[in-house]
Amino acid sequence: MAFDPQSGRIDFHRAFASGTRCSCPQCGAEHPPVHNTLERDWRHLNCFQFQASIHAKVPRVRCGTCAKTTQVVVPWARPNSGFSLRMEVLLVTLCKTMAVSQVAQLPSVSDGRVWHTLDHYVDQAHAQEDFSTVTSVGLDEPLFPSFSASFHKEPHPIFFNPPPPLIREAFCPAPLVSGAFCCIRGEGGPGRLPP
Binding site for Zn ion (CB under 5 A): 24, 26-27, 29, 63, 65-66
Q: Is residue 29 within 8 Å of residue 66, measured between CB atoms?
A: yes
Least distance CB 169 / Zn ion (angstroms): 39
Nearer to Zn ion by Cβ, of 23 and 150: the residue is: 23
| Nearer residue to Zn ion within complex by CB, 31 or 126 | 31
Whichever of 27 and 99 has its CB closer to Zn ion, that residue is 27
Query: Residue 130: which region, alpha, beta or left (left: phi > 0; alpha: psi -120 to 50)?
Result: beta
**C-alpha to C-alpha distance for 62 and 41, rounded to whole angstroms:** 22
How far, rounded to the nearest angstrom, does the alpha carbon of residue 34 sit from its chain's CA centroid? 29
Task: Report the 3 state secondary structure along 127-169.
Answer: HCCCCCCCCEEEEEHHHCCCCEEEEECCCCCEEECCCHHHHHH
> Among residues 37 and 150, whose Cβ is nearest to Zn ion?
37
Least distance CB 31 / Zn ion (angstroms): 11
> Considering the complex, what minimum distance in angstroms separates the CB of residue 26 from Zn ion?
4
Shortest separation between residue 29's beta carbon and Zn ion, angstroms: 5
